[in-house]
Structure 1
């Protein structure tokens, strides 16, 4: 009985009590007009670059400030030219939240994902060009897994598990990299020393 109780408490503590926003994070998210976009951080600013390189932490899906962050991230993405995804570090918050445009769904909706985690990647790779909202005038080809298995939460603290492939899977991998402080400018330098078998199946869907 003791062992069962301990295991139950452990599961609840991991899944049910993710850390909430700090006082400073709340103040940042709620600053100004909350109906406007948060500014997108850039690598050419020293402070903003440090934020982009930092590891992001899980956030409680039930935090009352989280819907505001998601809305302001959505507005920030909408203001860009051709942006298809954004991560919370790109608006100054080191928390595991991303928005991704779902090219694998009808009408290509932009959806939010809380505490996303890739639990499986295919060995089959894509190669295609990627840019970044936080890196001005940078666009280079990268290798990404063609298919991934993804786990994440919604605002009701419900856990989801799904398979994603193609261009949408590429976006997920790019945005989840941001949560680990991985920028494509660094990834590009690292990949120069690696060799892959190229598979030409990477293409952004046309509207």
Structure 2
């Protein structure tokens, strides 16, 4: 049975540590962590979550793009556990896009990311997967990969002008009226 785990917040030292490679995908602890990450992410309204965000030091994250209150225009994909993920190639060009983070609540950052990435990872069954990711899903992958190396979105913004509160983001970028 999966359990919702507490999400580490900016300032927690576990978010600044490099995660260790998962030695055995089939270990019960690894499978339990995957289940817990899936539930925690869904309940928090995320489109991705990395093990360090729940204070686990494993190179493992979930990518699960779907439209929700935080990302209403996100493309739909099945939640995908990615174990020991790496980028094997990337486009030369980068594009800036607005990101939020469950570990940095109330803040959005305009972050430059590669527009296309070729990635490899082990799936939940331990099979090697290779994918070509573009757009928002490539952005999620890179964001979550940063978590495995102790990097937060606030480290990637190019200036303080590229940070907004969630309320300012909703008003200025999404054009929502403030109640």
Residue matched to 1:62: 26
Greater radius of gyration (CA): 1
The yes-or-no answer on 1:134 pairing with 2:103 is yes
Structure 1 runs of 4+ with >3 Å offset: none
The aligned runs of 1:99-110 (5 Å cut-off) are 99-102=62-65, 107-110=76-79
| CA deviation vs aligned residue, 1:137-156 (integer Å, no higher than 9, x gap) | 11121111110000000233
User: What is the CA RMSD across the aligned residues, in angstroms?
Assistant: 1.8
Q: Which residue of 1 aligns with 2:131?
A: 162
Higher helix content, 1 or 2: 1
1:192-203 matches, cutoff 5 A: 192=159
The alpha carbon displacement at 1:181 in A equals 0.3
For residues 123 and 175 of structure 1, the distance between their equivalents in structure 2, rounded to whole angstroms, comes to: 20
In the TM superposition, 1:1-207 aligns within 5 A as: 34-44=1-11, 49-59=12-22, 60-81=24-45, 83-102=46-65, 107-188=76-157, 191-192=158-159
Alpha-carbon distance, 1:102 to partner? 4.2
2:38–2:62 contact (8 Å) kept in structure 1 = yes
Contact kept? 2:81, 2:124, Cα under 8 Å? no
The CA distance in 1 between the partners of 2:76 and 2:55, in whole Å, is 29
Choose 175-184 or 124-133, whichever is displaced more: 124-133
User: In the aligned structure 2, how far is the partner of 1:37 from the partner of 1:126?
Assistant: 33
Normalising to structure 2: TM-score of the pair?
A: 0.79
How far apart, in 2, do the equivalents of 1:128 and 1:110 lie? 21
Determine the C-alpha separation between the residues in 2 that align with 1:37 and 1:110. 16
- What SS class does the counterpart of residue 28 from structure 2 fall into? coil
CA contact (8 A) 1:102 1:111 kept: no
Distance 1:88 1:122, change over 3 A: same
Q: What is the Cα deviation at residue 65 of structure 1?
A: 1.4
| Aligned-pair CA distance for 1:169 | 0.3
> Normalized against structure 1, the TM-score is what?
0.69
For these two proteins, the number of residue pairs brought into alignment is 151
CA offsets, 1:118-169, max 9 Å, x none?
1111012221111110012111211111100000002332111111111100
